Structure 1
Amino acid sequence: MDKNLLQRLFGGAIYGLLVILCTTPLGAKLINGLSPGLVQQQHLYYGLITFFLFAGAWECVKIMKFDPKSWEKWVVFPIIVFVFYRFSNRFFNQGFYYNYSLSEFLALSLIVIAVVTLFRFSKELYYDNGKLIFTIIYTAIPFSFALALPQFTSTDFSLEVFFLFVLIWSSDSFAFFTGKFFGKHKMAPKISPKKTWEGFAGGVILTMVAGFFIEQYHPDLRGNWMIVGLLVAVFAPLGDLVESQLKRTFGVKDSGKIIPGHGGILDRLDSFIICVPVVYLYFVLENLI
């Protein structure tokens, strides 16, 4: 078997296993089976998101090639710690009931502004202050919102984030295979040559079908998961295009090498980064109606 294929299979298996253990009750059950009462599932989830945040932020700093002498490079992580800490207090440590606030609206708006800047005004990101702002918005805010998605108590942990990953993986797979067999019209040939509108359409339809089955078998989850499937199928490709455009802007092939055969954290979580704020906003609106 090809060595690169073995690397991809091994890297993908480790990454998938880590996600499953930290986003479902399985992780805490396994650990507490060895040492009862050692950990709660929400602590594993918090650890996973924290790791993703700082690994992703480090990769973003490397991609954007800050001036080694600039002050901006040295304040990226203190600011990220501050932002993540503030969101953690609201979403994680004190519980959260989807009471929408102005700060969250502004944070979501900043993500939109950052994406528009990347595609339409990328020259602004050649300056270190622009790189600083983009890195914080692109990493700290989405991963902070991720803390609000699951519901948990001292004895229970819900599966919203696990099934979000399932839908993202499904969307990528469905779009790939539909595009491979039926794709003719390129979606963004300069940024991601393999993406086609036919693949996108197939991804939307089949991911909504996957969302339907999640909704049928897990009615306890927040929201309607056919709608979540639609949102994921639409915005997951955008997340991939955002990261591809970021790497293209700065002449980088992969965000890192932390996952053998798959690249870096940003390469694996590009869709997650964009889908999380969208799904969070949907849950808020659904709760208000």
Structure 2
Amino acid sequence: MMVIIVLKKRIISAIIGILLLIFLVFAGSLPFFITVSIITILAVREYSRMLKVKSKLLGSILAASAVLIVFNVYLISNNYNYLPSGIIFFIITFILYLYNLYNYREEEFIKNLSHQLFSVIYIGGGLSFAVFLRDINRGIFINTSALWLVLIATWLTDSGAYFVGKKFGKKAMAPVISPNKTVAGAVGGIFTTAIFIIFVSIFLEVFNIYYFIFAFLFPAVAIMGDLFESCIKRSFKVKDTGTIIPGHGGILDRFDSFIFTAPFTYYFIILLLG
């Protein structure tokens, strides 16, 4: 009974989220940038809670730093003047250094600075590729199609792994990290997504060896992203990163795979598929 209730919540949340996402993606580059920025802020807040960040100033610095990365990508995608990534990284590192210097604690300095910098790169850097993917125009990837490919393929990997794992899963894939994830589920997720990508590429008459490789690497990367977030949650001893999405948990719970698949797909398109 509990499983049915959770599944019902997941389905309702997914339907509402998909409808909202469709509207926001097609609303234009600027509204989508604002949407990604809001998602980034919420994700950073979740990570800050896991870090037990009590300072509102530090929380604001982390959120602003992550959004700065997203904003710079928006400028790049729309051919506006932008700052080189190295300068962005230096600014963020230097601001966090000054904060930790002012609130200096010898035994915590390196650990705190590392955690803070990682959260900005992981969340801001990963989610910023949503903007890149929405605006990319290369080969068959036009009119937001690259973004939809990543969103749908990531969702299929997650869904395939969930349902196949529920039905056939016995052996845990990573029992220490996440005992509920099974080998059968991983195989199911990989083949579900691979079949989808291969079918789409054949339908569009662009199928080649690169699409075949991409079809199997993509879901593997998605699973690695999911496992990566599981490692983070286990480190902080939490079950979910938040409760903002009924049936799914937090923003990071929903976008953990996307943070890995988005940059992977963007560069695969740039180097091989575009």
Bin the TM-score by the shorter chain: 0.7 to 0.9
1:263 to 249, 253, 261: 249
Q: TM-score, normalised by structure 1?
A: 0.73
The code of the aligned residue for 1:9 comes to: I
Q: Which residue of 1 aligns with 2:98?
A: none
Q: Which residue of 1 aligns with 2:30?
A: 43
1:152 Cα shift? 6.2
Residue 8 in structure 1 maps to residue 10 in structure 2? yes
Unaligned runs of 5+ in 2: 90-107
**Contact 1:152 1:158 survives alignment (8 Å):** yes
2:146 to 150, 153, 160: 160
Query: Structure 1, residues 149-189: CA drift from partner, whole Å, max 9, x if none?
Result: 13468xx7231111211111111122223333333332111
Q: Which residue of 2 aligns with 1:180?
A: 166
Change (3 A) 1:166 1:78: closer
Q: Which residue of 1 aligns with 2:94?
A: none
Unaligned runs of 5+ in 1: 29-40, 96-100, 107-123
Q: Which residue of 2 aligns with 1:53?
A: 40
1:240 to 226, 230, 234: 226
1:217 Cα shift? 3.5
Q: How far apart in 1 are the matches of 2:75 and 2:203?
A: 32
1:5 Cα shift? 4.7
1:274 Cα shift? 1.0
**Contact 1:7 1:261 survives alignment (8 Å):** yes
**Contact 2:77 2:135 survives alignment (8 Å):** no
Query: Structure 1, residues 99-143: CA drift from partner, whole Å, max 9, x if none?
Result: xx985xx9xxxxxxxxxxxxxxxxx99932122111101111011
**Contact 2:165 2:185 survives alignment (8 Å):** yes
SS at structure 2 position matched to 1:187 = strand
Q: TM-score, normalised by structure 2?
A: 0.76
Q: Which residue of 1 aligns with 2:116?
A: 132
Q: How far apart in 2 are the matches of 1:220 and 1:93?
A: 28
**Contact 1:187 1:196 survives alignment (8 Å):** yes
Q: CA RMSD in A?
A: 3.5
Query: Structure 1, residues 40-74: CA drift from partner, whole Å, max 9, x if none?
Result: x33343233222211111111112212x2597445
* Percent identity between the two aligned chains: 31
2:200 to 210, 214, 229: 214
- How many residue pairs match? The answer is 249
